[in-house]
Amino acid sequence: MQQQQPVEEALRQYAAWGAEKKARDIAALKLSELTLICDYFLLMTAANNRNAQAICDYIVEQAKAAGQPPLRIEGYRDARWILLDFGSVIIHIFIEEERQFYSLERLWSDAPLQKFN
């Protein structure tokens, strides 16, 4: 197994992998000062369910190749809100309706927000 990379570097890499598969509105919430759950939530929006699964598949494939597979994957079958748990970073891949409905940016509004383009 390869050495663990710094969390900020991993965060940027996950965001880049999502963007490669057409994820949009990619943003990170820094939670390390607010909760013990994880250091960051990385949020991204998919065009539809198939796109959400493609984004998930690609991130998992790239992370496994880098020796850092996710600890857990939730929501893949329905693909409306897929969660990839990498320990320090939890990735949320939403379709638009789910992202607006759950509005994690609003729920965690005390967390610093970093946008990726």
Cβ-proximal residues to 116 (8 Å cutoff; 6+ apart), any chain: 12, 15, 16, 19, 26, 27, 28
Per-residue pLDDT of the chain (117 residues; tens, 9 = 90+): 455 569 999 999 999 999 999 999 999 999 999 999 999 999 999 999 999 999 999 999 999 999 999 999 999 999 999 999 999 999 999 999 999 999 999 999 999 999 997
Dist. CA 103–CA 8, nearest whole Å: 23
| pTM tops 0.75, yes or no | yes
* Contact call for residues 53 and 79 (beta carbons, < 8 A): yes
Dist. CA 9–CA 44, nearest whole Å: 17
Per the document, the length of the chain is 117
* Contact call for residues 68 and 86 (beta carbons, < 8 A): yes
Q: What is the pLDDT of residue 4?
A: 59
Q: What is the pLDDT of residue 3?
A: 52
Q: What is the pLDDT of residue 38?
A: 96
